[in-house]
A and B are shown apart, each in its own frame.
Chain A
């Protein structure tokens, strides 16, 4: 069994739900925040932090019993973990596996950190960022040209 396979065993298999794998090491708790998991829910949630990974050195894994991810949540996860994979589990089997993908332009899912940016005003316009670096993430606001880094993005989740 591969190392990755072993890592899976840190947390018991779930029957139905979602496994978010290859989360950048140290960001599992931020992923939970994105998913609004507070710990007060009744479903099973498994979190593994800093497990060895063949591909990315170390990684985090989040397993959630029941429920599906909303597309905007997947986009947010892509911002902080561009290599993350989403596995949909049905009856203990992976029925769908997809990589998150970071588009070249990010519209609407986060706000510009510059308080005097026009995209934060009452204008009928969504925020728009151009991706400059994927890992670690760096975005440039289309309107005010300021950069947003991972720490600025995390503040919004």
Chain B
């Protein structure tokens, strides 16, 4: 893959498809969007984005739509597979081949893993993976990385703790891949045994960066620059007692943050349930709401890049 490969027309399926150069390129595109977002822009006027959400995710859909509208583009799509053609038994490949006639870019969320990869192979229109099974969620990873870049000025050398459900949480897989493209990044993977990160992911990222696995957030709180919290879903546990026993140890409160490193930040892909106490919101560490704003900027940048409005 050439270093200067343009992103115009490309699919955004998996972070594994990109080089550090590509990701840096996406981050600087996001930087360019701050002004456009505030003053309004029409660089995507006449372009249509279709959101095909076979699985509901209001926030991700809103974020993409906001990004598209802020650049002057238009949006069509569905978020309720029950009302869509899916209900009539049409497969994804056919749906994509129909909708590609209606739009310039397709944003797909699907419960099955690899769905976006397949969609990208049956159409020439660029496809953006907005989450497929528990596999990957690349645009979330890009916004997460962008948040770190904005908050620290760099990604190289950061020590990042990922906490909670590292097995089924699709955002953490993509984020781990993205971080592994940078230099001297150290990952602390904190989870209950049942929810440890998949070996495929560890194997891939282990080739490039250091990681350690653990169960105790308290132990590493004083060392990390980023505390990336995720939600642990009750449904993952066969035994509810087991869930009750561990859930408290993956919850962050203002009191815990007394022990954290100066300048550390707390992130979360949202929605949260109770893994970050509301008393953290007002602290200097909380970044999860600003992260949402960075999400709009980074999706604006991505759409502008793949639709060829910027280079």
- The digit string for A122-157, where 1 denotes a CB below 8 A from any CB of B, is 111100000000000000111111110000000000
User: Beyond A144-B135, A145-B135, is A117–B113 a contact (Cβ under 8 Å)?
Assistant: yes
Q: Would you call A36 an interface residue if the criterion is a C-beta within 8 Å of the partner chain's C-beta atoms? A: no
Q: Would you call B171 an interface residue if the criterion is a C-beta within 8 Å of the partner chain's C-beta atoms? A: no
A145 touches B118 (CB 8 A): no
Chain B residues with CB under 8 Å of A142's CB are: 114, 117
| CB of B88 to closest CB in A, whole Å | 13
Q: Would you call B158 an interface residue if the criterion is a C-beta within 8 Å of the partner chain's C-beta atoms? A: no
A144 touches B91 (CB 8 A): no
User: Beyond A118-B118, A122-B91, A125-B118, is A147–B112 a contact (Cβ under 8 Å)?
Assistant: no
Kindly identify, within residues 187 to 219 of chain B, every residue whose CB is under 8 Å from any CB belonging to chain A. Answer: 199-200
Which residue in chain A gives the minimum CB-CB distance to B116? A118
Q: Would you call A9 an interface residue if the criterion is a C-beta within 8 Å of the partner chain's C-beta atoms? A: no
CB < 8 Å neighbour of B113 from A122, A123, A124, A143: A143
User: Beyond A116-B133, A118-B92, is A145–B14 a contact (Cβ under 8 Å)?
Assistant: yes
Q: Would you call A119 an interface residue if the criterion is a C-beta within 8 Å of the partner chain's C-beta atoms? A: yes
B93 touches A119 (CB 8 A): no
Q: How large is the interface on B (under 10, 10 to 19, 20 to 34, 35 or more residues)?
A: 20 to 34
A144 touches B114 (CB 8 A): yes
A118 touches B114 (CB 8 A): yes
Which residue in chain B gives the minimum CB-CB distance to A121? B112
User: Beyond A116-B111, A116-B112, A147-B200, is A123–B133 a contact (Cβ under 8 Å)?
Assistant: no
Chain B residues with CB under 8 Å of A141's CB are: 114
Kindly identify, within residues 211 to 262 of chain B, every residue whose CB is under 8 Å from any CB belonging to chain A. Answer: none
Kindly identify, within residues 115 to 154 of chain B, every residue whose CB is under 8 Å from any CB belonging to chain A. Answer: 115, 117-118, 132-136
| CB of B296 to closest CB in A, whole Å | 28
Chain A residues with CB under 8 Å of B272's CB are: none
Q: Would you call A114 an interface residue if the criterion is a C-beta within 8 Å of the partner chain's C-beta atoms? A: yes
CB < 8 Å neighbour of B93 from A116, A117, A124, A144: A124
Chain A residues with CB under 8 Å of B117's CB are: 118, 142-143
Which residue in chain A gives the minimum CB-CB distance to B110? A118
Which residue in chain B gives the minimum CB-CB distance to A141? B114
| CB of A9 to closest CB in B, whole Å | 44
Q: Would you call B16 an interface residue if the criterion is a C-beta within 8 Å of the partner chain's C-beta atoms? A: yes
B93 touches A143 (CB 8 A): no
B200 touches A145 (CB 8 A): yes
Chain A residues with CB under 8 Å of B110's CB are: 118
A143 touches B91 (CB 8 A): no
Q: Hey, which bits of chain A sit against chain B, CB under 8 A?
A: 114, 116-119, 121-125, 140-147
5 tightest A-B contacts by CB? A143-B114, A144-B113, A118-B114, A144-B114, A118-B112
Given contacts A119-B114, A143-B113, 19 further A-B contacts (CB under 8 A): A114-B113, A116-B113, A116-B133, A117-B112, A117-B114, A118-B110, A118-B114, A118-B115, A118-B118, A121-B112, A123-B92, A125-B93, A141-B114, A143-B114, A144-B133, A144-B135, A145-B114, A145-B136, A147-B200
